[in-house]
Amino acid sequence: MITLKNVKSALLGLATADALGVPVEFKSRNYFKKMPVKTMQGYGTYHQPAGTWSDDTTMTIATMESIARKKVLDYTDIMINFAKWYKDDEFTVDGLFDIGNTTGSAIKNFFRGNAPLTCGLKGEHSIGNGSLMRILPMAFYQKAA
Ligand SMILES: [Mg+2]
């Protein structure tokens, strides 16, 4: 059942897991065997305070905000929200500190006037897993549709 409480809980879970991973992003499996993440930590990979979520939560919030406000999946509005993140640090804890190359290129293509669904890159090295990390809004959107 879709309730505001369920949506908030899902988003809080995403943001918490994301924030747990931010300080140890790019660490090896061997690192985690020796130093498992058991508490919220600060600094590390991106030198961010404990509890800081990353681009994945930011883009999820940006997508959810658009869907909640527009009541439809409006790709242009979602890209405008991504642009607000890129240019104005919206939807972040304390500003943008990391953005994937493919995501950055897509937002720049949007700034150049490309239609939202044509902004993504198509090369074999432009198929990261970022979209999977921010798929949460679609679970709720599909249920509501
Ligand atoms: Mg991230």
The three-state (H, E, C) secondary structure of the chain, written as one string: CCCHHHHHHHHHHHHHHHHHHHHHCCCCHHHHHHCCCCCCCCEHHHCECCCCCCHHHHHHHHHHHHHHHHCCCCHHHHHHHHHHHHHHCCCCCCCCCCCCHHHHHHHHHHHCCCCHHHCCCCCCCCCCCHHHHCCHHHHHHHHHC
pLDDT surpassing 80 at residue 124: yes
Q: What is the CATH number of the domain that holds 13?
A: 1.10.4080.10
Residue 25 CA to ligand 1 center (angstroms) comes to: 8
- Average pLDDT score over residue span 128-137: 83
CA of 18 to the centre of ligand 1 (A): 7
Neighbours of ion ligand 1 (CB under 5 A): 54-56
Ligand 1 midpoint to CA 34 (Å): 23
Summarize pLDDT for 53-88 with one digit per residue, the tens: 999 999 999 999 999 999 999 999 999 999 999 999
141 CA to centre of ligand 1 in angstroms:
22
Instruction: Give residue 61 CA to ligand 1 midpoint distance, Å.
Output: 13
Residue 141 pLDDT: 85
Q: What is the pTM assigned to this prediction? A: 0.92
Write the pLDDT tens digit of every residue in 19-51: 999 999 999 999 999 999 999 999 999 999 999
Number of domain units in the chain: 1
Domain that includes residue 17, residue range? 4-144
